[in-house]
Structure 1
């Protein structure tokens, strides 16, 4: 395993530093708990405020209503686990929000019951409480969401159990679990889309804030949760893409840097993986070990054979940068090599997770190549268009549905005309659309 690179670490820390939670609205001292958590002004209507009615949530004012029966409090000797403690975070207009594993260690993993104490890590924040909506998100994640996350049943089970149990000790991970669950529910329940998107933004921002502090003290204990977080935040970045608008995964097509800078999230995820590589021995022998098993004995210098048609397409693609400078040619050749490897592994290693093979591309491409993409360098865009061919194979996963087509169309619009010789094949594969001969 390669050691962490200073550039990648700086990218991770820098990206996290620049993505700030939003400014809070003025608190209402007499408002309901739910409105306070959302940082919105409560109308204080009884027995339930209008804001809670519009969000479809149970208002805390019901707790004091004469017809409302309040259940008895838990016995005083019980303790609330650290995961049940999100801090309300500032929210405003929606911003872009941001792949696992062996049986859990019975000595450190606790059950999810709020009435059972959980051993707190030194970095855990003081206890607070989750809402019923938050518990709904956790329930959805463990019963439904994880089934649609991987094709491999072993990895599905790890994300359903091990990752959640890790989150009991690491609140930043619990918040990200709830963030991605809320994104999925926003799709499945369009009548409550706005409410779920708000919940997702809230948990994502809180999780990121807590993660920033955790990653600065990376060790053999928290590295497993940090790895899971980096996987989920990557899922968040894809799920947050609106397929009805230009993709903003790599850059803002409108050149409006204030509107979107999604590539910071890619660098954050890449930098996180570089950071946790420093704890490699702990990772490959810990609760997340199963995710590394298929890759441990893979020779990084092996050849990457391709089917004849794909081989020809990649050879033709190199001709698009035959006249560029040596430094750019070196960068593009490196990115193409990683793209070839993805295509090759999908053909010759069918027993490995298709999702993991395809998504490793983001951790292998160089920072210099990402810089070219930010600059909308044509040949760098051509490589992404070819990568979209394999992204299309993930459309059965909920957070990838329509994303290959969306990314391809955005690349077409940004690239412009004059490159049809190299765009014809990927466009036909992804969009099933004929391109005029060049």
Structure 2
């Protein structure tokens, strides 16, 4: 699955993107019919029943195939309900986002890509072909969105925001292979962290345009309320993070670097609040976990980019929150997967620093 970085452009209100090319050959277009399968008999060729399937009929250029219609149906009857338990939010994903896709094809392609990844979980016999469809649609979606990201206007700010959300979900939902294309180089840093940072840039650079859409207020209100709580609440001491904090203060001599690491830890403490009480909803826990991705400073992200061991140790504690969100289909498995990648990237000394998250997750090195 190709990956995308969305970062604030220094030259204006555009968002610069880096797309990486998949290591495997690009999957065939969904608009091209499958190869013919025939049964040879003396003097003739008889088309096999498999060829008569609607999924294998050639489709005129510019038309959507039957599989695309199946994916859109799956999104509006199943996938859309997995993003939130709030009825208004669910209805927005079910009705408004696909309708938005009819005007902005990169949104529709993102919808189809994510639906294909979701459907592949329930159709093991079709898993490979559905993942192939997801790659095709994501490639198309990204190619269409790239020029728009470099020249954002008030008209396309909202569709680009939802394109960014869909792309982040796709990054999470993609298969976690040992050579995962969503991992930068050979390090442990997942691409979805940069995608979340990119979404923040889209919001910050176009907040007036996005928030001016009255129909979106209910989506942002919960986040605004959580942000107020986040900023005004003093988090209680956290046993595991306190130990890491003390270790960092002892070993990190660079005052500026230490400040960035401690800020990231303080933000994690605020996220953990929502997981230590039954008074919060699943939606609030999800928002609280990913609030950390928005709140960490850019200098901390730069440390992760250069595969800094101390920053990786802080990221390991975030894996605990991912593990506690394992009931969410597109997050499932990421806590274990990411802690394993971090462990592999650290030397023996630093591996002792992350014993708490390893044991909390229940992962065995």
Q: TM-score range by the shorter chain?
A: 0.7 to 0.9
Q: CA deviation at 1:43?
A: 5.2
DSSP 3-state at the match of 1:15: strand
| Matches of 1:180 and 1:277, distance apart in 2 | 25
| Matches of 2:143 and 2:31, distance apart in 1 | 17
DSSP 3-state at the match of 1:188: coil
The answer for the alignment partner of 2:56 in structure 1 is 58
Farther off after superposition, 386-395 or 212-221: 212-221
The answer for the alignment partner of 2:95 in structure 1 is 161
CA contact (8 A) 1:175 1:206 kept: yes
**Alignment CA distance shift 1:191-1:53 (3 Å):** farther
CA contact (8 A) 1:8 1:267 kept: no
Query: Which structure dedicates a bigger proportion of its chain to strand?
Result: 2
DSSP 3-state at the match of 1:230: helix
CA contact (8 A) 2:80 2:94 kept: yes
CA contact (8 A) 1:187 1:193 kept: yes
Q: CA deviation at 1:160?
A: 1.5
| Matches of 1:11 and 1:415, distance apart in 2 | 36
TM-score by length of 2: 0.80
The answer for the alignment partner of 2:290 in structure 1 is 359
CA contact (8 A) 1:9 1:272 kept: no
DSSP 3-state at the match of 1:396: coil
CA contact (8 A) 1:152 1:353 kept: no
The answer for the alignment partner of 2:234 in structure 1 is 304
Q: CA deviation at 1:132?
A: 0.8
1:105-144 matches, within 5 Å, as: 128-144=62-78
Match of 2:313 among 359, 382, 398: 382
RMSD (Å) for aligned C-alpha atoms: 3.6
The answer for the alignment partner of 1:277 in structure 2 is 204
| Matches of 1:188 and 1:335, distance apart in 2 | 37
Q: CA deviation at 1:268?
A: 4.5
Match of 1:13 among 8, 11, 16: 16
- Whether 2:295 is the aligned partner of 1:368: answer no
| Matches of 2:52 and 2:348, distance apart in 1 | 47
Q: CA deviation at 1:381?
A: 1.3
The answer for the alignment partner of 2:260 in structure 1 is 331
The answer for the alignment partner of 1:251 in structure 2 is 184
Gap runs ≥5 in structure 2: 1-6, 39-44
The answer for the alignment partner of 1:121 in structure 2 is none
- Whether 2:313 is the aligned partner of 1:313: answer no
The answer for the alignment partner of 1:342 in structure 2 is 271
The answer for the alignment partner of 1:292 in structure 2 is 220
CA contact (8 A) 1:11 1:271 kept: no
TM-score by length of 1: 0.68
1:170-209 matches, within 5 Å, as: 170-209=104-143
Q: CA deviation at 1:55?
A: 9.7
**Alignment CA distance shift 1:55-1:248 (3 Å):** farther
**Alignment CA distance shift 1:432-1:215 (3 Å):** closer
DSSP 3-state at the match of 1:373: helix
CA contact (8 A) 1:11 1:267 kept: no
DSSP 3-state at the match of 1:376: coil
Q: CA deviation at 1:210?
A: 1.0
